[in-house]
């Protein structure tokens, strides 16, 4: 006989429940009882009917999809998975969505698909792409008949006639609509990659009942939108209508006409912006040119001050000034020299023997001995003498005097 540990048994039961696909995705209806909330925000309650009851837990992270205030005695439809809680040895339903009982099957399918795709990350805001401000080419998926295409094209033509619209016609209601919309989306993506790039794709249709909008709650369309290489705008129904396509798309527009407003700029606003940019550009260029002109003048002044031509001119002026000062100094020195020379000449003339001769004196030169005769002993009788007077020379010969000496 084989004996098992309690943990082995409870683990085996939990694994059996988790491997059962029927227990992994199911809706259960019943009445709420034993409702309690933990400090962490989790909700615990029991779902019961007349014969049995099932413990349920609704974790705080899943409560963003809570569409009703839970209370004891409330009849609910609860979606989730069944598992076994080993710690307490109990079977319980892990809820991820609740709805008041009586909601239609389409709505339940909508909520189930929404919960599934959200858990997979198809609704993540991090993956949503921004739309271009000035699109040049837009793909449009809608019915080729009806008011939607006319309204969309009218709004786009009025706001931004420069944009090119590429229409991919498709049914937007009925059994074939999901497949046609997916095909149109794939064709536009192929066109984007192989022919001409698209800036964005708009999926549009008018309002209607949940049954009318069922094509846009199709899982295949949701995954095709998620896989699109071109940003997708969902413009399905009226403002109060929400579809799975809205949650997956990069942008949800409340109506097709609103989508045309959101994806195109206003041409009038563009013209005003261009005019303002032109004014600012001209003003900026004018200010820049004035600043550059001031800079040019500043540097031109610096260049002129450092120019060799200016230096040469300066040196020329300095040389002219030096020459003028030299001339003045030389003239002054010449004048002073002349005055000094005149004075010297006057002094020399005053001391000149000629002046003495003019006063009656004479100079006697002994030519025989080649000496100036200043005493009697410097001449002897017979010596040839030259006696210089003021107007010439008187040659003579020394003779002996009767009084002794010579004459």
Give the CATH number of the domain where residue 137 resides.
3.40.50.2300
* 334 close to 350: Cβ distance less than 8 angstroms: no
Same domain, 255 and 138: yes
Residue 241 lies in a domain: yes
Same domain, 160 and 61: no
Same domain, 192 and 207: yes
Vertex 261 angle, CA 259 and 262, to 5°: 65
* 201 close to 232: Cβ distance less than 8 angstroms: yes
CATH number of the domain at 77, please: 2.40.50.140
Give the per-residue pLDDT at 325.
Answer: 87
Residue 362 lies in a domain: yes
CA-based nearest residue to 160, from 136, 188, 129, 179: 136
Same domain, 76 and 137: no
Residue 111 lies in a domain: no
Same domain, 252 and 283: no
CA-based nearest residue to 198, from 150, 244, 165: 165
Q: Say how many domains are in the chain.
A: 4
Residue 68 lies in a domain: yes
Residue 312 lies in a domain: no
Interatomic CA distance for residues 2 and 9, integer angstroms:
12
Same domain, 140 and 229: yes
In sequence order, what are the beta bridge partners of 393? 388
With a CB cutoff of 8 Å and minimum separation 6, the contacts of 263 are 131, 135, 138, 200, 202, 233
Considering the entire predicted model, what is its pTM?
0.51
Q: How far is Cα of residue 311 from the mean position of the Cα atoms in its chain?
A: 47
Interatomic CA distance for residues 177 and 171, integer angstroms:
5
Same domain, 225 and 259: yes
Same domain, 249 and 273: no
Residue 140 lies in a domain: yes
Give the per-residue pLDDT at 232.
Answer: 96
Same domain, 98 and 162: no
Same domain, 209 and 197: yes
The domain boundary, picked from 237, 265, 293, lies at: 265
The domain boundary, picked from 242, 265, 288, lies at: 265
Give me the helices (H) in 176-307, please.
177-194, 219-227, 244-248, 256-263, 267-306
Same domain, 260 and 166: yes
Query: Regarding beta strands 53-58 and 43-48, do their DSSP bridges make them parallel or antiparallel, or are they unpaired?
Result: antiparallel
Residue 32 lies in a domain: yes
Give the per-residue pLDDT at 56.
Answer: 93
The domain boundary, picked from 265, 294, 318, lies at: 265
Interatomic CA distance for residues 377 and 404, integer angstroms:
12
Same domain, 152 and 213: yes
Residue 315 lies in a domain: no
Q: Which two tokens stand for residue 308?
A: 């060799």
Question: DSSP assignment, residue 128?
Answer: P
Structural domain span for residue 86: 6-103
Give the per-residue pLDDT at 197.
Answer: 94
pLDDT tens-place values along the chain, 407 residues long: 778 788 888 888 888 887 788 888 888 988 888 889 888 888 999 998 888 899 999 988 888 766 677 888 788 888 888 888 888 888 899 998 887 765 556 677 888 899 999 999 999 999 999 999 999 999 999 999 888 999 999 999 999 998 999 999 999 998 899 999 999 999 999 999 999 999 999 999 988 777 788 899 999 999 999 999 999 999 998 777 789 999 999 999 989 999 999 999 988 887 888 888 888 999 889 888 888 888 888 888 777 777 677 677 777 888 888 888 888 888 888 888 888 888 888 887 777 777 777 777 788 888 877 788 888 788 888 888 888 877 888 888 888 754 455 55
């Amino acid at each position: 006989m084989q004996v098992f540990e309690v943990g082995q048994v409870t683990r085996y039961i939990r694994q059996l429940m988790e491997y059962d696909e029927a227990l992994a995705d199911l809706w259960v209806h019943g009445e709420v009882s034993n409702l309690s909330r933990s400090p962490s925000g989790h909700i615990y309650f029991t779902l019961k009917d007349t014969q049995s009851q099932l413990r349920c837990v609704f974790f705080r992270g899943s409560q963003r999809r809570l569409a009703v205030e839970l209370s004891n005695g409330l009849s609910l439809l609860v979606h989730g998975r069944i598992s076994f809680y080993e710690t307490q040895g109990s079977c319980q339903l892990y809820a991820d969505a609740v709805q008041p009982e009586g909601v239609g099957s389409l709505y339940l399918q909508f909520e189930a698909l929404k919960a599934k795709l959200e858990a997979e990350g198809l609704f993540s805001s991090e993956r949503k792409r921004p739309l271009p401000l000035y699109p040049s080419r837009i793909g449009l998926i809608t019915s080729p008949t009806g008011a939607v295409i006319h309204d969309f094209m009218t709004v786009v033509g009025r706001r931004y006639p420069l944009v090119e619209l590429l229409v991919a016609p498709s049914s937007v209601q009925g059994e074939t609509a999901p497949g046609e919309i997916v095909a149109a989306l794939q064709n536009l993506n192929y066109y984007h990659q192989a022919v001409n790039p698209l800036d964005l794709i708009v999926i549009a249709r008018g309002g209607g009942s949940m049954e009318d909008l069922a094509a846009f709650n199709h899982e295949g369309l949701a995954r095709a939108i998620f896989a699109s290489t071109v940003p997708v705008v969902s413009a399905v129904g009226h403002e109060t209508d929400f579809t799975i396509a809205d949650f997956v798309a990069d942008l949800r527009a409340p109506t097709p006409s609103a989508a045309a407003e959101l994806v195109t700029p206003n041409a009038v606003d563009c013209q005003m912006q261009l005019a303002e940019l032109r004014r600012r550009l001209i003003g900026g260029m004018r200010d820049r040119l004035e600043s550059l002109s001031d800079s040019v003048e500043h540097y031109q002044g610096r260049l002129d001050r450092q120019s060799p031509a200016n230096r040469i001119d300066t040196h020329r002026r300095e040389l002219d000034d030096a020459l003028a000062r030299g001339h003045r100094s030389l003239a002054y020195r010449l004048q002073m020299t002349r005055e000094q020379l005149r004075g010297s000449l006057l002094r020399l003339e005053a001391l000149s023997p000629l002046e003495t001769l003019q006063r009656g004196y004479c100079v006697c030169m002994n030519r025989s001995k080649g000496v100036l005769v200043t005493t009697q002993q410097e001449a002897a009788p017979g010596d040839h003498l030259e006696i210089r007077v003021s107007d010439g020379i008187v040659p003579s010969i020394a003779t002996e005097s009767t009084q002794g000496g010579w004459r």
